[in-house]
Structure 1
Amino acid sequence: MPRNPILSASRIRTAALHIIDRDGLDGLSMRKLAAELGVQAASLYGHVDTKDDLLHEVAAEILAEVDVSGFAGGDWRHGLVSAARSYRAALAAHPNIVPFLAYGPAHREASLRRLDLVHGGLVSAGWSRREATMIAASLMYLVFGAALSSFSSGFSEDQALYRDRYPNLDKAHLLPSVARELDHDSFELALEAFVTGLAVRERAGAVD
């Protein structure tokens, strides 16, 4: 048995993500990560150069769950829907790292490959390069908007707060109890409206 725990890139990423899930993005430090792994901080640098590099590696592992295979069949609608749903699910599993991911793909090779497939799938379907870029960006706005906050859970459960001052929100106190279901259905509604709107635009000949 080795006297010191054996480190691996995978073990470091797993421990780092555990800290982020538990303590938040700001709660991760190389010193805390080393303590979590039972090693000295200097030992980590044989596997990762900086905390920022580590975050990109953790991000790449999380986003590996994003499914862009739907674009391969030439159906851009199916591609967008499957990508959006899997993207939201990946982010929902680790909400504390979402602010870091919201900065974009940066230099993450896997993220850039996925984006390349999305962009290529849209262009192959007839969208211009500019429109494809806008559609991909809009999809990210939709997904990250859903991941960064919960509209429903942001209400108070105190009925009196709304009943007298906001008569049209007299049932708002019930929203936190159904937040998970309502947030899911709201995302699906927004996704459907997004894809349907694009389809109308395509049929109208607005693709340029």
Structure 2
Amino acid sequence: MPKVKFALTKMRCLEETNEPSASEEPYVLVFASQLKKVAGLVTIPAASTTMYGPWENVDKGELVSTAVNISGPLGKFLNHPSKNFWGLDGKPHDLNSPDEAIFIAALMENDDAQAGGIRAGLHAQLFAAITSYANAGMSRASMVSKLKKDAKDILTGVTVTGIPSSDDLIGVAEIPYSAADLQAVNTKTIVKNIELAGDGGKYRLRFEMSK
């Protein structure tokens, strides 16, 4: 089975939200949790929450990229690949089965909150939640369902967490992948597109899994 990288690479605004501002400032949070069985019990050896954006002045129809361009020698621009939410050091990591990791994406519209603080707060809450679910012996499907609800509740203020969030949640979804994808990634890049809608807005997110 392969060592892989997984990242958000592009996002397109299909519809702008109902916010009064002229342009959007969206950002994406991806919670990634490794699952591992030890003596028949599921443990959570590692988890992270990666933030992409915020992007300023995003209008309907606009495509944004998560790759980073920086100035290099002789004025040339060097393209740095998108941050990985799996393979955090930029190198591929083992992923042998969908039973070994869960990926949850949340799309936010930045108003006047500190997106970095929201990322940190969401990570702390979801890491505590999935650790509890694993200890309770929940199935992967049940954990995914609970984590999506938890993320919505946390980011909309239903769950009182102390996160200083006045940003608006557009949507939450699992980033899907299959055992067949993990076989096919040996010979090609696997693309997963998901659409998230809410608050009047709609976005298409492109995720890429590669070796």
TM-score, with structure 1 as normaliser = 0.30
Higher radius of gyration, 1 or 2: 1
Higher relative contact order (CA 8 A, sep 6+): 2
Of Structure 1 and Structure 2, the greater helix share is in 1
TM-score of the two chains, using structure 2 as the length reference: 0.30
